[in-house]
Chain A
């Protein structure tokens, strides 16, 4: 046994999990455990209690609500991968899910766990930022029940989750059905390894084939997933010079991480190249869906 001794408890509801957590600041939550278990094994986390939220029924769901799709925090990554709702209404998330770890880790790993953990290489966090998703929370001392993905991630493994709160789910805006496409590109040392750089993009084209809107975010390379401000590109053709230059310029302004796996320079170049690939993928999808343009 490698973890420090702790007490294991199963919470029956969100309210119970929050109450236990508030009682004991050294308690941690476990859902899928695909990140927490290694951290326990390496004793990077030394909790007094591990509170299992994996059996809380109200946290496991994928459902459509008007213009949004709600994913419960303990929804398994592979359940999202197999979901028709995700495939149809959240195509960008559907593209990103197969990049997370390996099939056996996606079987246990959860949507909310990936968000709460805030690993800079996490694909779900990247898609949440690119899509303008909201992180749903419970138990916050200030009474808030949601935070935007853009304000949620502060630094590697650090989030704006208020004290005592837990992540209960994600609310994604539904993808626009017309003239829209998505792209996702990532580079890692081996399949399933942590991303050195990853790019998620969704865009819509106008009737002339110019950009009607574009949302592009970088992950893996930067300390937190970061969306580029590209509103100036409306009307531009997605494969044009101006788009490429604006993306490269946006990436040049970002702080890149540097470590034993890849330097900041490498990550910057990789991000630029992946952005081109992802934009081309998204534009091609619009073309394919609408019979060429």
Chain B
């Protein structure tokens, strides 16, 4: 067993986990953050995407112990306040950017990271950014639309967005 202190969504969280535990399992089972979805659990689908120091990575492809010292953002950390949604989340709802919702946390976080560095992405930029995230429902069209809409809205606001 290993005692970890992880920086998750702006707060320090402690967990004692088995050495072999992935960051994905640690977030879900040790820290109770079930928003990060477990899909393939071997790096193929992207639904477990989290932000590590602001950049998307796959939580199933890291050991929890490797995440110490990095800032982790999960889907629970993107809304400005409890009960609210981020601009990106809102845009996904409005454009029907999700159906079953399985891929959605990964898609939203990937979009948040893209828009943080590229406020006016082209369609091609968006497709490259989400190329590692599988969606079995939407056909991706509405997801791209959602991210374009979110980009436009974020440019029109002076509100500081999480994360």
Contact assessment for A7 and B19 in the assembled complex, using a CB-CB cutoff below 8 Å: yes
Contact assessment for A42 and B19 in the assembled complex, using a CB-CB cutoff below 8 Å: no
Contact assessment for A37 and B19 in the assembled complex, using a CB-CB cutoff below 8 Å: no
Q: Using an 8 Å CB-CB cutoff, how does the interface string of A1-24 with B read, 1 for contact, 0 for none?
A: 111111110100000000000000
Contact assessment for B2 and A8 in the assembled complex, using a CB-CB cutoff below 8 Å: yes
- Output the nearest chain B residue to A78 by Cβ-Cβ distance: B55
Contact assessment for B131 and A192 in the assembled complex, using a CB-CB cutoff below 8 Å: yes
> Which residues of B24-74 are within 8 A (CB) of A?
25, 41-43, 46, 49, 52, 55-58, 60-63, 65-66
Contact assessment for B63 and A50 in the assembled complex, using a CB-CB cutoff below 8 Å: yes
Supposing A1-B25, A3-B20, A5-B19 touch, asked if A107 and B57 sit within 8 A by C-beta, the answer is: yes
Q: Does A104 contact B (CB under 8 A)?
A: yes
Contact assessment for B132 and A102 in the assembled complex, using a CB-CB cutoff below 8 Å: yes
A54 to B20, CA, bound (A): 16
Q: Does A103 contact B (CB under 8 A)?
A: yes
Q: Does A34 contact B (CB under 8 A)?
A: yes
* A-B interface pairs (CB < 8 A), number: 86
Supposing A8-B65, A52-B65 touch, asked if A105 and B19 sit within 8 A by C-beta, the answer is: no
Tell me which residues across on chain A come within 8 A of B132, comparing CB atoms.
Answer: 101-105, 192
Tell me which residues across on chain B come within 8 A of A108, comparing CB atoms.
Answer: 52, 57-58, 61-62
Which of B21, B49, B63 has the most chain A CB within a 10 Å cutoff? Answer: B63
Contact assessment for A104 and B63 in the assembled complex, using a CB-CB cutoff below 8 Å: no
Task: Report the count of interface residues on B (CB-CB < 8 A).
Answer: 28
- Output the nearest chain A residue to B17 by Cβ-Cβ distance: A1
- Output the nearest chain A residue to B106 by Cβ-Cβ distance: A104
Supposing A54-B66, A103-B129, A107-B56 touch, asked if A37 and B18 sit within 8 A by C-beta, the answer is: no
* CB proximity of A190 to chain B, nearest CB, Å: 8
Tell me which residues across on chain A come within 8 A of B157, comparing CB atoms.
Answer: none
Supposing A50-B63, A52-B66, A107-B56 touch, asked if A37 and B46 sit within 8 A by C-beta, the answer is: no
Q: Does A237 contact B (CB under 8 A)?
A: no
Q: Does B128 contact A (CB under 8 A)?
A: yes
Chain A interface size band reads 20 to 34
A34 to B132, CA, bound (A): 13
A30 to B67, CA, bound (A): 13
* CB proximity of A52 to chain B, nearest CB, Å: 6
Tell me which residues across on chain B come within 8 A of A8, comparing CB atoms.
Answer: 2, 19-20, 63, 65
> Which residues of A30-83 are within 8 A (CB) of B?
30, 33-34, 37-38, 40-42, 50, 52, 54, 78
- Output the nearest chain A residue to B19 by Cβ-Cβ distance: A8
Tell me which residues across on chain B come within 8 A of A101, comparing CB atoms.
Answer: 132
A80 to B37, CA, bound (A): 30
Q: Does A265 contact B (CB under 8 A)?
A: no
Tell me which residues across on chain B come within 8 A of A263, comparing CB atoms.
Answer: none
User: Can you list 20 A-B contacts (CB < 8 A)?
Assistant: A1-B18, A6-B19, A33-B62, A34-B61, A38-B42, A41-B22, A41-B41, A50-B19, A52-B63, A101-B132, A102-B132, A103-B56, A103-B132, A104-B46, A104-B57, A105-B58, A107-B52, A107-B55, A107-B57, A191-B131
Q: Which A positions have Cβ atoms within 8 angstroms of B?
A: 1-8, 10, 30, 33-34, 37-38, 40-42, 50, 52, 54, 78, 101-105, 107-108, 191-192
Q: Which B positions have Cβ atoms within 8 angstroms of A?
A: 2, 18-22, 25, 41-43, 46, 49, 52, 55-58, 60-63, 65-66, 110, 128-129, 131-132
Q: Add 18 more A-B contacts to A33-B61, A108-B61 (CB < 8 A).
A: A1-B21, A3-B22, A5-B19, A5-B20, A8-B20, A30-B63, A33-B63, A37-B22, A38-B42, A38-B43, A38-B61, A41-B60, A54-B66, A102-B46, A102-B131, A103-B132, A104-B49, A104-B56
